[in-house]
Amino acid sequence: MFVSIIISLRYNKLSSDHHTYYKRLEEDEDFIILLLYMDDILVIDSNKNQVHELKARLDREFYMKNLKLGPANKILRMQIYQDKKKRKI
């Protein structure tokens, strides 16, 4: 069911990783990458409004434990470091 909802929202599945979905926004070079592992989701974005829309849609369809966890600092026991000035992870 999750996959059908994500596909209906015009996300594409990354061919090299079947747990990664992406969406390029037509207006400019904005994008959203969604990583799914079991029941954990990590969203990487360049457009906050699109992320809020995605979370709201998923929350309507599924039980979402917490929509406001803030910036990710770990996933799958890996530490995430962000440099917002350089726009790098």
Q: What is the pLDDT of residues 13-72, one digit of tens each?
A: 999 988 899 988 776 678 888 888 887 888 888 767 777 788 888 888 887 766 566 777
Number of domains in the chain: 1
Q: Please report whether residue 24 resides in a domain.
A: yes
DSSP string over 73-85: -EETTEE---BTT
DSSP 2: H
> How is residue 18 written in tokens?
């079947």
Report yes or no: 32 and 50 within 8 Å, Cβ to Cβ.
yes
Q: Is 34 exposed, middle or buried, given 0-12, 13-18 or 19+ CB atoms closer than 10 A?
A: buried
Instruction: Print the domain residue range for 60.
Output: 2-79
Q: Please report whether residue 7 resides in a domain.
A: yes
